[in-house]
């Protein structure tokens, strides 16, 4: 039987990918950022998940022009890195898991989540930067990836509450899959940042730290944060944090926090990273 | 009085922030088609060779076209643009996202970078126009 054993969350700042691609990881600006992921790379090498359900938002690369799906699931065999204006990132093509993805799509829709099915999609930094952070520079990705895309850029995004329930539904769907698979779920984006207007550069460390704490201490409180509160407190792009709630919703009532990291800044953004183990999957 | 209730209006209480809506997306559709065209190297080369001629291919408004020429990102947001599309222009220019965002904040790139290194812009005093906090 397939099971979601653990989850993690991370920011997906494009400059982090550029720093890796351009060999800047040891520079004083970047070294503290990458230090925060060393624990996770070691842990990941031991965990060796088969599949990662990777929740992220597209940044006007695959969607937002002709189509704006609220929730979408990638069902393709492979996903090619997108050219975001400076050439595609020099990272491997991302392998999918069309069979599990089809099962998840069917289960979610029958559970009243109206997923858009993606049979072809290029993936941007939102998906490839988290993979690079967790696995480092590799010639091929050591996991299959099922992308779940959430609209967080064109108002209105789904509520945090609905994201949490989508995570719960994903966990039930994975549990009904016959193959014996070790599955992880990743929520990406955030933490506080604003990329526009006179408030550009906004960082709210108190909000971010409370959010990290509440993923294990009080996830129910996180479900109630409104869109306006996210934008007011964590900036117009901080609302990406609703994607972390899909991850948290998929891990069940209680979680064990294994690793936490917080650093300001990477480019315009507060970098947050947390690793959580679902109850019942202690080593 | 507005003939429809717009739930996005509650965001207007947050200073210095524009929410990208379904209506903005419609207004900026041709502008965004242009931005997405820059995801191809051959298109970037043609745009760089003759910006004015390239922009004529996309029936956006004259104001939008001028704001692209001026790299006036605040104006482009006012005209419906979304930053993730607009970054395709600055990426084509070889500017970093941080340099581009700094232009919108009214600060020099150096002052903005220093603010970020010092922990970023505090939300204190810029949460709500009405509450004044």
User: What whole-number distance in Å separates Cα of residue A42 and Cα of residue B91?
Assistant: 34
CB nearest to A199's CB, from B15, B38, B92: B15
Provide the angle, in degrees to the nearest 10, between the axes of the packed helices A242-249 and A205-217: 10
A to B CB pairs, distance under 8 Å: 159
Residues of A in contact with B105 (CB under 8 A): 197-201
Task: Provide the pLDDT for residue B9.
Answer: 77
Task: Provide the pLDDT for residue B14.
Answer: 96
CB nearest to A198's CB, from B19, B25, B105: B105
Task: Provide the pLDDT for residue A162.
Answer: 98
Distance from CA of A154 to the nearest CA of B (A): 5
| Catalytic residue flag (residue A193) | yes
Cross-chain residue pair A154–B82, CB shorter than 8 Å: yes
Mean pLDDT of B23-51: 98
Residues of A in contact with B85 (CB under 8 A): 60, 64-65
Given pLDDT bands bounded at 50, 70 and 90, which one contains residue B6?
low
Task: Provide the pLDDT for residue A280.
Answer: 75
Task: Provide the pLDDT for residue A110.
Answer: 98
Which class would CATH give B19-93?
mainly alpha
Number of residues in chain B: 133
Domain boundaries of chain B, sorted by first residue: 19-93
Residues of A in contact with B22 (CB under 8 A): 68, 154-155
CB nearest to B77's CB, from A61, A83, A196: A196
User: What whole-number distance in Å separates Cα of residue A54 and Cα of residue A56?
Assistant: 6
Task: Provide the pLDDT for residue B2.
Answer: 42
State yes or no: pLDDT of B4 exceeds 60. Answer: no
| Catalytic residue flag (residue A263) | no
pLDDT truncated to tens, each residue of chain A (283 aa)? 899 999 999 999 999 999 999 999 999 999 999 999 999 999 999 999 999 999 999 999 999 899 999 999 999 999 999 999 999 999 999 999 999 999 999 999 999 999 999 999 999 999 999 999 999 999 999 999 999 999 999 999 999 999 999 999 999 999 999 999 999 999 999 999 999 999 999 999 999 999 999 999 999 999 999 999 999 999 999 999 999 999 999 999 999 999 999 999 999 999 999 999 998 765 4
What is the separation, in whole angstroms, between the first and last Cα of chain A?
18
Encode pLDDT of B114-126 as tens digits.
Answer: 999 999 999 999 9
Q: Please say whether the beta carbons of B84 and A153 come within 8 A.
A: yes
Distance from CA of B25 to the nearest CA of A (A): 8
pTM of the model: 0.97
Number of H helices, E strands in chain B: 9, 0
User: What whole-number distance in Å separates Cα of residue A222 and Cα of residue A239?
Assistant: 12
Pair of tokens at residue B128? 């709500």
DSSP string of A69-133, one letter each residue: -SEEEE-SSEEEEPB-SS-B-S-PPEE--HHHHHHHHHHHHHTT--PEEESS-EE-HHHHHHHHH
Cross-chain residue pair B84–A64, CB shorter than 8 Å: yes
Q: Which domains does chain A have, with CATH numbers?
A: 3-278 (3.40.830.10)
**A208-to-A211, A234, A261 alpha-carbon distances in Å:** 5, 8, 11
Cross-chain residue pair A64–B32, CB shorter than 8 Å: yes
State yes or no: pLDDT of B7 exceeds 90. Answer: no
Residues of B in contact with A153 (CB under 8 A): 20, 82, 84
Cross-chain residue pair B17–A233, CB shorter than 8 Å: no
Task: Provide the pLDDT for residue A48.
Answer: 97
């Amino acid at each position: 039987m397939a099971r979601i054993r653990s989850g993690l969350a991370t920011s997906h700042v494009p400059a982090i990918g550029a720093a890796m691609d351009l060999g800047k990881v040891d520079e004083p600006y970047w070294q503290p950022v990458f230090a925060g992921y060393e624990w996770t790379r070691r842990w990941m090498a031991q965990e060796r998940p088969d599949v990662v359900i990777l929740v992220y938002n597209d940044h006007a690369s695959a969607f937002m022009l002709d189509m704006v799906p609220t929730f979408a699931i990638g069902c393709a065999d492979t996903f090619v890195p997108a050219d975001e204006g400076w050439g595609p990132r020099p990272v491997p093509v991302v392998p999918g898991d069309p069979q599990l993805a089809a099962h998840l799509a069917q289960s979610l829709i029958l559970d009243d989540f109206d997923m858009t099915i993606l049979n072809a999609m290029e993936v941007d930094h939102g998906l490839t930067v988290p993979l690079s952070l967790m696995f480092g520079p590799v010639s091929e990705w050591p996991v299959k990836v099922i992308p779940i895309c959430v609209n967080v850029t064109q108002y209105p995004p789904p509520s945090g509450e609905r994201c949490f329930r989508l995570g719960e539904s994903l966990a039930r769907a994975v549990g009904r899959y016959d193959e014996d698979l070790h599955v992880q779920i990743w929520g990406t984006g955030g933490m506080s940042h604003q990329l526009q207007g006179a408030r550009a550069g906004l960082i709210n460390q108190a909000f971010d730290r409370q959010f990290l704490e509440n993923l294990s201490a009080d996830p129910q409180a996180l479900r109630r944060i409104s869109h306006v509160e996210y934008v007011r407190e964590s900036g117009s792009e901080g609302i990406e944090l609703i994607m972390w709630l899909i991850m948290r919703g998929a891990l069940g009532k209680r979680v064990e926090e294994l690793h936490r990291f917080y650093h300001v800044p990477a480019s315009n953004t507060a970098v947050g990273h947390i690793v959580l183990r679902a109850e019942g999957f202690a080593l | 009085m507005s003939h429809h209730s717009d739930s996005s209006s509650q965001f207007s209480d947050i200073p210095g922030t524009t929410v990208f809506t379904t209506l903005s997306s419609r207004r900026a559709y041709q502008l965004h088609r242009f931005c997405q065209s820059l995801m191809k190297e051959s298109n970037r080369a043609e745009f760089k060779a003759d910006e004015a001629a390239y922009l004529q291919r996309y029936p956006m408004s004259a104001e939008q076209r001028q704001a692209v020429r001026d790299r006036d990102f605040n104006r482009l947001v006012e005209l419906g643009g979304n930053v993730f599309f607009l970054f395709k222009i600055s990426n084509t220019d070889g500017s970093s996202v941080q340099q581009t965002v700094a232009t919108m904040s009214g600060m020099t790139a150096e002052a903005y970078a220093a603010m970020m290194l010092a922990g970023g812009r505090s939300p204190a005093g810029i949460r709500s126009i009405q509450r004044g906090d």
